[in-house]
A and B are shown apart, each in its own frame.
Chain A
Amino acid sequence: MIQLSNNLLLLAFVLYLVSTIVYAVAITGKKWANRDPKEHQQRFGRIGFAITFIGFLSQTGYVAIRWIAGGHSPTSNMFEFIAFLSYCIVIGFLILYRIYRMTILGAFAVPLAAIMLAYASVFPKEVTPLIPALQSYWLQIHVTTAALGEGILAVGFASGLMYLIRTVPQQVSTKSTKWLEFVISVVLMMVGFIIVSTVFANLNQKTVFEFPQYKADEPTVVERMLTVEYKLPAIVAPQESKIVQPGPITPLFEAPGFMEGKDAARKLNTMIWSVLSGVVLYGLIRLLLRKRLAAAMQPTLDDIDPELIDEISYRAIAIGYPIFTLGALIFAMIWANEAWGRFWGWDPKEVWALIVWLFYSAYLHLRLSKGWLGVKSAWMAVAGFVIILITLVVVNLVIAGLHSYAGV
């Protein structure tokens, strides 16, 4: 059963990749000789959409089977959650496709879903039984709804990014072009992270550290020694650690003392690797293209009506915002009240959900009342999802809180 569901997930991933390529052909290939650009784009757009849809069905199979086999919604650890989020991004894309019938939106939304899926796969994949803290229907309802909201907001990001690439003038380097390149490199950091972790997971070049844990009430007394195992080469070591099993490189520095928890240093190490690999990846592509990445993509989008993608971006946020409110805040409060007897406790994860929500509230007010449309609104749509990513990745990995799942 689990094997079957994993195969379906893999199939979905492959199909998303294929449809990404087809979309890329759809928007780039229209410049090829003897083609009617419009017809070309429509045809390949439709093919891409069909493949995405089959991928979606396959992923639905994965979700359903894993749900049945595990006896709970597949959102109980980092792998399951991120995979589910990628599923929700596809759902978001399908919803907006139904409204606007724009297949080319898939050229940005589908790769995003594929990246998410790949990102999920670096975390342990097992179906683990639910520990008591996670045994709650409200928790499942809360996480699935929040993910759905975030998935739809991600489509707002995808079309916002599309809008910016389409409209930000690329003749000269400006603040806008720089930020746009930055956003693209953030996406590349995720890709880089996936590549690096997959490569090193297979190389089996572990570094093992041992370090002291001090007693909570007597910070000079060592309570016990902890060991931590890095799969990635160690750039940063845990504080006061000794290397038990040396890895490919010697660490350059120690993690700052305030990073709490057994895995803090390893998580920091992972973060550093993602950033580095993203930057390298960006550099390589930039060298190959010899221009800004956005500048290279711009001509492929020149026949797209910017007002339409502006509206799609807004509409995605307008659809996603109530769902996010319900899932990430209201259901979360109900669950927290059942679990801890308080509906709100200013736990970092809760605070970041609030930040995301306030940010989109500001977006909506600015758009509605201050006429922030087009470029400004697209920037906010992009920034909003970057904040969601921060919530997912950084807060989960770096700030340990009540909600954090164990992870890489």
Chain B
Amino acid sequence: MNDTRKCECGHTNPVGTRLCEACGKPTEAYIQTQDPQAPEFPSMRYEGMARRSKINTRSPIDKVWNFFSSVKIAIILIVITLIASGVGTIFPQQRYIPVPVPTEESVAQFYSTTYGTLGDLYYLLGFHNLYSSWWFVTLLVMIGMSLVICSLDRIIPLYKALKKPRLNQHLSFYLGQKMHGVTDEGVSFNTSETLEKAAEGLKKKGYRVFQNGDSLMGEKARFSRWGPYINHVGLILFLLGVLLRSVPGFYMDDFVWVREGQTISVPNTPYYVKNVEYKTEYYSEDEFAQDLPIKEGEVIPKNFESKLIIYLNENEGVAGAPPKLTQVTEGSVRVNHPLTHESISYYQSGKREMELGALNFDLVNRTNNQRVGQIKVDLYEPAAEQKVGEGITVRVLDYYPDFFMDKNGMPSTKSSAPNNPMVALEVSDGKVKEKLVYVSGSLISNETNPVYELAIRKPDLLDVTGLMVRKDTMIPLIYFGCFISMVGLVMGFYWQHRRIWFHREGDRLYLAGHTNKNWFGLRQEVNQIIEPLQLPIPITVAPDVDKKKSKKEKEVRPT
């Protein structure tokens, strides 16, 4: 029996080769194993090179390899991901549901009451957290594996195939191309002159010309064949970045409320942030490009901005040590314009305006109706004691920021926010000691005829800014992946690999053309190149071999 790897031209091909690497004839192995549906001439996709997935099919590793290297599987994975993603938008994901749902039951409750039975089902199937579900992540991982394996499977054969120009091929190679032509029998021509003209025409069209004897090949934009692979590498890097984000420490996401003047610790970091000032600005009417149908008193916000100072706590990690802050940066944050320091970014993403910051009172001596001085009760950090006028001290005895009477009739606070502050004060001047209580906008004294009384003045109002604090160390990798991907896409789509062959054998001239896409353009180029040859070469372009269709050949339209 013949060695099917050995071609009649004498070259020995690796197992699995379909087109002889040297002469381009379909290999004996291809011809023998051909199923009746397959075309006589193998697909030019990888130039008939041997690919691992087509050779080894036995061991479990081969099975996995072949599974993931199949484009069919890739498409199936893509389509499943597509459909799953769509399903995830039917009802809102848990992170977007409008009401606060502290417990798992209330989440279930939400879907069930809002969306009925379908909502129940949605929740039960875990679609409310679809994109972080194990199976969705598995899909992404599988696409990633498929990308890696299919690229490895093809990249070396493709490299080998593209490395050296195919010249002096077996006639069946030329005639097997989708686009081919041959001069009619008896048509005579001057070989060297014709080939020279053809070469000239090819060069004019930007082709690189290779020649060996009476065989000529023009080639253009070979690099574009690498486009899809570069794109896939970019996608792999991107997916890697995305998956690594779930590793603890690579991604951080927090939210803090900071009121004006306050400095607080940024959770899980050695940093502190101070809100110097928060402001909201509105558009004035003369800033509009045209009159707008807005109602009286309606305003359009122009800017939400906080001035921040970021401090580093030098004593971070030192147990029990008080924070020692040194300023590291300052700046303002606006919506869409975060402040970044050491890969931690601060985003303007919330505000509470005009909140009570401090209560102000005038202390009045009722005996002579004289204003003694002013008292300020900071509602966040009330001073335990303050001196007013000559020898008078005011102490804070009790403070409930969000006052209410609990079940036992005891004063208590609902939260630490000063929504309804209640303060008990003691005024003493050495002789008298009087107690005063401020609650819900009024004052009560413990004396029936007190010496001192308080007059309420305008309280200090302040704004509270909501800052999102995020760190994403994978961003550079993710952006890099995107960039590589784009480079690949542009290479692959805005250039096409084209090859045109001229080959004389006997007294006939053969022509063939191959491109990976856009045959119409190739056809036109070929027509323009052969026009100056003044030689009738009837060209046929086989319609693409959609395996189920009959192979019908079609005349090229002259253009």
Taking Cβ atoms with an 8 Å cutoff, the residues of A that contact B are 1-2, 69-71, 99-100, 126-129, 131-133, 135-136, 138-139, 216-217, 219, 257-258, 260, 305, 307-308, 311, 314-315, 318-319, 321-322, 325-326, 329-330, 333-334, 337-348, 351-352, 354-355, 358-359, 361-362, 365-366, 368-374, 395, 399, 401
Max chain A C-beta neighbours (<10 A), residue from B287, B288, B547: B288
Asked if B75 contacts A257 (CB within 8 A), the reply is: no
Contacts of B470 in A (CB 8 A): 341-342
Let me know if B257 is at the binding interface, CB within 8 A: no
Q: Is the CB of B347 within 8 A of A132?
A: no
Closest to B98 in A: A216
Asked whether B301 lies within 8 Å of A347 as measured between CB atoms, the reply is: no
Given contact pairs A135-B335, A368-B516, enumerate 9 new A-B contacts (beta carbons under 8 Å).
A129-B288, A132-B303, A135-B336, A307-B520, A339-B336, A341-B468, A351-B86, A362-B78, A373-B544
Please judge, given known A-B contacts A127-B289, A342-B470, whether A219 and B336 are in contact too, CB under 8 Å.
no
Which size bracket describes the interface of B in this complex?
Answer: 35 or more
Neighbour of B493 across the interface among A322, A351, A362, CB < 8 A: A322
> In the complex, how many angstroms separate the beta carbon of A342 from the nearest chain B beta carbon?
7
Query: Nearest CB to that of B547 among chain A residues?
Result: A371
**What chain A residues lie within 8 Å of B82 (beta carbons)?**
355, 358-359, 362
Among B13-21, B307-315, B395-403, B472-480, the one that faces the other chain is B472-480
Stretch from B87-95, B261-269, B379-387, B429-437 that touches the partner: B87-95
Supposing A373-B544, A374-B546 touch, asked if A129 and B493 sit within 8 A by C-beta, the answer is no
Interface residue from A2, A318, A338, A361 paired with B337 (Cβ < 8 Å): A338
Docked complex: B406-453 residues within 8 A CB-CB of A: none
- Tell whether A127 pairs with B485 under 8 Å between CB atoms, given A132-B301, A217-B99, A343-B475: no
Per a CB cutoff under 8 Å, which of B95, B302, B335, B544 touches A129? B302
Known: A346-B93, A366-B75. A340 touches B347 (CB 8 A): yes
- Taking a contact as CB atoms under 8 Å apart, the answer to whether A341 and B253 are in contact is yes
Contact A136 B336 (CB under 8 A): yes
CA distance A320 to B81 in the complex (A): 22
In the complex, chain A residues whose CB is within 8 Å of the CB of B115: 257-258
Q: Max chain B CB contacts within 10 Å: which of A129, A305, A334, A395? A: A129
Some 18 contacts from A to B, beta carbons below 8 A apart, are: A69-B290, A127-B288, A128-B288, A132-B302, A133-B335, A216-B98, A258-B114, A321-B493, A325-B489, A333-B478, A339-B335, A351-B86, A358-B78, A358-B79, A369-B71, A370-B72, A371-B546, A399-B89
B108: interface (CB < 8 Å): no
Q: Measured between alpha carbons, how far is A134 from B157 in the docked complex, in Å?
A: 49
Instruction: Judge whether B100 and A217 touch: CB under 8 Å.
Output: yes
Asked whether A342 lies within 8 Å of B472 as measured between CB atoms, the reply is yes
A355-B85, A371-B547 known; A341-B293 Cβ under 8 A? no
Nearest neighbor of B81 in chain A, beta-carbon distance: A358
Question: Could you tell me if B486 and A371 are in contact, using CB atoms closer than 8 angstroms?
Answer: no
Chain B residues, Cβ within 8 Å of A325? 485-486, 489
When the two chains form the complex, which single residue of B99, B293, B490 contacts A126, counting CB atoms closer than 8 Å?
B293
Known: A132-B334, A311-B520, A395-B89. A340 touches B287 (CB 8 A): no
Contacts of B45 in A (CB 8 A): 369
Q: Is B349 engaged at the interface, CB distance under 8 Å to the other chain?
A: yes
* B276-292 to A contact mask, C-beta < 8 Å, 1/0: 00000001000111101
- Interface majority SS (helix, strand, loop, mixed), chain B: mixed
Give complex CA distance A373, B490 in Å.
22
| Bound Cα distance from A338 to B494, whole angstroms | 30
Min distance, Cβ B531 to any Cβ of chain A, angstroms: 18
B367 contacts A by Cβ under 8 Å: no
Chain B residues lying within 8 Å of A133, measured Cβ to Cβ, are 335-336
User: Looking at the complex, which one of A260, A334, A351, A371 makes contact with B479 (CB distance below 8 Å)?
Assistant: A334
Alpha-carbon gap, A13 to B365, bound state (A): 79
Interface membership of B360, Cβ < 8 A: no
Interface residues of B in 114-146 (CB under 8 A from A): 114-116, 119, 131
- Interfacial residues of chain B within 464-523, with CB under 8 A of chain A in the complex: 468, 470, 472, 475, 478-479, 482, 485-486, 489-490, 493-494, 516-521
**Quick check: B289 and A351 within 8 Å, CB to CB?**
no
**B67: CB under 8 A from chain A?**
no
Contact at B75–A365, with CB atoms within 8 Å?
A: yes
Tell yes or no: B545 within 8 A of A by CB.
yes
Residue in B71, B119, B336 with the greatest tally of chain A CB atoms within 10 Å: B336
Q: Tell me if B289 and A70 are in contact (CB < 8 A).
A: yes
Nearest opposing residue in chain A for B89, CB measure: A348
Alpha-carbon distance between A361 and B334 when the two chains are bound, in angstroms: 37
Residues of A within 8 A of B475 (CB): 337, 343
Nearest B-chain residue to A131, judged by Cβ: B301
A321 and B231 CA atoms in complex are apart in Å by 13
Q: With the chains together, A362 CA to B300 CA distance in Å?
A: 44
Instruction: Render B294-307 as a binary contact track against A, CB cut-off 8 A, 1 for contact.
Output: 00000011111000
Chain A hits for B468, CB < 8 A: 340-341
Distance of B325 from chain A, by nearest CB (Å) = 24
Are B546 and A338 closer than 8 Å at their CB atoms? no
Report the minimal beta-carbon distance from B497 to chain A, rounded to whole angstroms: 12
Is B557 in the interface zone, CB < 8 Å from A?
A: yes
